[in-house]
Structure 1
Amino acid sequence: MRICLVGPAHPYKGGGALHTTELAHRLAARGHEVAVESWRAQYPALLYPGRQTVSAPEGEPFSATRRELSWNRPLGWWRAGRRMGAAADLVVVTVLIPAQAVPYLGVLAGVGRRARTLALCHNVLPHERRRGDAALMRTLVRRVGAVLAHSPEQARTARGLVGERVPVRWAPLPPHLPRARDAGPVPAAGGGPRRRLLFFGIVRPYKGVDVLLRAFARSAPADVGLTVAGEFWGGSRELRDLAAELGVADRVGFREGYVPADELPGLFAEADALVLPYRSATASQNVHLAHEHGLPVIATRAGALADQVADGKDGLLCAPDDVDDLADALRRFYSPGEAERLRAAVRPADPGPPWEAYIDELLG
């Protein structure tokens, strides 16, 4: 089959670009003829004012990648769609934010009826919604031939937007982890407790870092530290002030900015566990990333996190947006021998079977 994937790819950073690239490689390995249509900018500067690219690839780039789509050239959207419709049997538009619906409608208009179309939705609707998000996504998903979501909850949301007009399928998001191109195997974790916890990822309100700070202040042993690492949406001042108010500012380190792939092993090696205190979630690569580096995960039961963490075996689960329950999980984690027991059960995910199942759903 001739397949065109429309979405971010290297040099853009983050999980969306990694997923598009890995999907292209996996489809090509199955014998499909694959092309990637990427962007001159992953997001408009108004929506993402920070740096959008990385200098070094965080996976193997896909050679058949074009980067001609531009947010401010609407005629180019239609022209690209015409080209894709003539060259592909299936056109997949990768949806990360509702604002992408506008250029994708132009692409789909160019494709017309000459190829099958599918919206691959990382989030059908964002966790922090703005006026117009639902209207944009409703318009987009009603214009494609099928929708692929990443959880049953997201599939229900999609069905609420399209009704019976468009088939909606879902599949768990398979592993697509950042790794420096010249990196060797991830070293096995060893040694005793580091007496430090880690939050890693883009810091936004729905990620619940404020809940983590309150739980950490309440129950983490006095000799345990916390690192909050990632890009801060709106800056870190509010969380720094909260840490000071709670009396733990001297134990909480803020590592602001995108963490490139070659720095991840060192960051994870300093921690006893990754903590994901999300208020809401669809799916996260961070559980896979932690397990790849030998770390157990303390997470809420939001979204697919409860399916990725085996409670009491390779991590601990608690209720979302619940300071008391997270504080109890931190207390249990640092009870004698518990951190070591959980770490010993951690196993990296085998990406093969999840990707096979994912591609089966995508191709329908």
Structure 2
Amino acid sequence: MKIAILSPFYPYRGGIASFSNRLYQEFQGTEGVEVSAFSFSLLYPSFLFPGKTQYVEGENSSLSLQSERILNSVNPLSWLSTAKAINKYNPDVVIVAYWMPFVAPALGTICRLLDNKIKIISLIHNAIPHEKGFFDKIFAKYFFEKCDSFIVLSEPVKDDLEKLIPQAKVLVTPHPIYDHYKERISKSEACKLLGVNVDKKNLLFFGLIRDYKGLDLLIESMSYLDDSYQLIIAGECYGDFQKYQQLIDQSPLKDNIKVFEQYIPDDMVTTLFSAADVLVLPYRDATQSGVVAVSYQMELPMIATNVGALGETISMSATGIVVEVSPEAISEGIKSYFENDTQVYLDNVQTEKKRLSWLNFAQSLQLFLRE
């Protein structure tokens, strides 16, 4: 089988690029599969990108691969050349990553220019974005209408997709773990590297900071906890961090809240998860979460709000505690977690880690693609 993947790839940073890099590597090592990567020459114009940089800073051999960087998201001429390059490669299947309406005009146009014999499969991370806009469904449908079938990572994404494409042929398969990070180190060593207190019950908030992720709720929940708890916030803020800083300054446990407001490189990911006793996901809205996949790899149990697929995933696997969306409920969940036998959660996380391997994920995709 000959497969093309159209997606952001290294040196772009972020979950979509990391996911596509790892999928490429898995296909590349599979007998009977030939794969080629087609990436972006320009993903977001700089004035539209809310972060500090779109690119991985420094070398990262675990992510590096050869891709054809050809697609400019805002230049229609490049859409023509991208379709031409994929047609020249002549794959049986093209897998197109989709995560937001901004890229839908480019992807939808490219799909309309591909040879009819090429099957188009969209791997959808989010069918409808968490932060919704007026043209979201129109743009998404423009792309989805040209796809032969779809791969989604959770039932809520499938539900969103079927509202736009009712007869869609869909494979639902859970998000595999991110397994390119280094192994955990001791908590004491990690806390020393981060400059945080090793004797506290360490709560970790990890990943991009956006309104729907509910960091404000977690900061407010610290008011209901005692001095034995410490919150570590790690991630780049897409927006103004000042509103979170004000909440921290007003918190009675402000000295127990440590902030690393930055893009987190891979080595620091390992350090953060090693320092933590539990990951907290206080989301207001969610489908699936790539952060959960990191937590399984790092063997760290979770406390999550009951939204999207988050609550169901963690509840069914018993890999943590599920709470309602409020500071009070989050604080009660945190207390309950440490009052229980945490080894039970850890054992279940290790079981899920084995189940959510990239080998299992790639095999499911191959069966679906061959159909």
Is the TM-score greater than 0.5? yes
- Residue in structure 1 matched with residue 194 of structure 2 by the alignment: none
Structure 1 residues 174-216: Cα deviation after superposition (integer angstroms, max 9, x where no partner):
223443xxx5x43476998642211000111111111111222
Local SS of the residue matching 1:334: helix
Separation of aligned partners in 1, 2:348 and 2:151: 32
Question: Shift of the alpha carbon at 1:149?
Answer: 1.9
Partner of 1:216: 222
Q: Is the 8 A contact 2:319 2:346 kept in 1?
A: yes
Q: Distance in 2 between matches of 1:171 and 1:291?
A: 16
CA distance in 1, matches of 2:39, 2:69: 5
Percent identity of equivalent pairs:
25
Aligned amino acid, residue 251 of structure 1? N
Aligned to 2:207: 201
> Is the CA contact 2:148–2:169 (under 8 Å) kept in the aligned structure 1?
yes
Task: Please tell me whether the aligned partners of residues 202 and 230 of structure 1 are also in contact (alpha carbons under 8 angstroms).
Answer: yes
How far apart are 1:125 and its partner, in Å?
0.6
Structure-2 separation of matches of 1:193 and 1:358: 44
Q: Which of 342, 353, 362 matches 2:360?
A: 353
- Aligned to 1:46, the other structure's residue is in SS state helix
Using the alignment, how far apart are the partners of 1:276 and 1:224 within structure 2? 16
Which residue is 1:32 aligned to?
Answer: 33
- The reply to whether residue 124 of structure 1 matches residue 122 of structure 2 is no
Partner of 2:139: 136
Distance between the aligned counterparts of 1:201 and 1:35, measured in 2?
A: 29
Q: Give the letter for the 2:218 counterpart.
A: L
Query: Which consecutive residues of structure 2, in runs of 5 or more, have no partner in the other structure?
Result: 190-197
State the SS of the aligned residue for 2:353: coil
Contact kept, 8 Å, 1:193 with 1:339, in 2: the verdict is: no
Among candidates 269, 272, 296, match of residue 267 of structure 1: 272
Find out whether 1:322 has 2:329 as its counterpart: no
Structure 1 residue 237: deviation in Å?
0.4
Provide the C-alpha distance between the structure 1 equivalents of 2:346 and 2:28, rounded to a whole number of angstroms: 36
Instruction: Give 1:96 deviation, angstroms.
Output: 1.7
Cα deviation for residue 128 of structure 1 reads 1.0
Would you say how many aligned residue pairs link Structure 1 and Structure 2?
Answer: 355
**Partners of 2:49 and 2:370 in 1: CA distance:** 31
Contact residue 332 and residue 338 of structure 1 kept, 8 A: no
Question: Deviation of residue 25 (structure 1)?
Answer: 1.8
Q: Which amino acid aligns with 2:79?
A: W
| 2:106 paired residue among 103, 108, 116 | 103
Structure 2 counterpart of 1:356, which letter? Q
- Residues 80 and 107, structure 1, Cα contact 8 Å, conserved in 2: yes
TM-score, scaled to structure 1: 0.89
Is the CA contact (8 Å cut-off) linking 1:187 and 1:293 kept in structure 2? no
> Aligned in 2, Cα 1:221/1:342: closer, same or farther, shift over 3 Å?
farther
CA positional deviation for 1:310: 4.9
CA contact (8 A) 2:42 2:73 kept: yes
Shift in CA distance, 152/339, structure 1 to aligned 2, threshold 3 Å: closer
Match of 2:311 among 306, 310, 319: 306
Match of 1:7 in 2: 7
Aligned partner of 1:19 in structure 2 is 19
Q: Is the 8 A contact 2:187 2:275 kept in 1?
A: no
1:106: how far off? 2.5
8 A contact 1:80–1:110 mirrored in 2? no
Q: Report the 3-state secondary structure (helix = DSSP H, G, I; strand = E; otherwise coil) of the residue aligned with 1:228.
A: strand
Q: 2-side partners of 1:118 and 1:26: how far apart?
A: 17
Deviation at 1:23, TM superposition (A): 1.2
Tell me which protein shows more helix as a share of its residues: 2
- Distance change >3 Å, CA 43–CA 291, structure 1 → 2: same
Question: Equivalents in 1 of 2:321, 2:238: separation in Å?
Answer: 27
CA contact (8 A) 1:155 1:168 kept: yes
304-313 or 108-117: bigger deviation:
304-313
Aligned to 2:60: 57
The answer to whether the 8 A contact 1:59-1:178 is kept is yes
Residue 285 of structure 1: CA displacement? 2.6
Q: Note the aligned Cα RMSD (angstroms).
A: 2.5
Query: 1: CA distance between counterparts of 2:317 and 2:368?
Result: 31
Q: Which residue of 2 aligns with 1:92?
A: 95
Please name the residue that 2:261 is paired with: 256
Q: Distance in 1 between matches of 2:106 and 2:237?
A: 27
Matches within 5 A, 1:127-206: 127-164=130-167, 166-179=168-181, 183=182, 185-187=183-185, 194-206=200-212
What amino acid is aligned across from residue 73 of structure 2 in structure 1? W
Query: What is the distance in 1 between the residues matched to 2:366 and 2:228?
Result: 46
**How many angstroms apart in 2 are the aligned matches of 1:84 and 1:312?**
40
Distance 2:334 2:61 in 1: 32
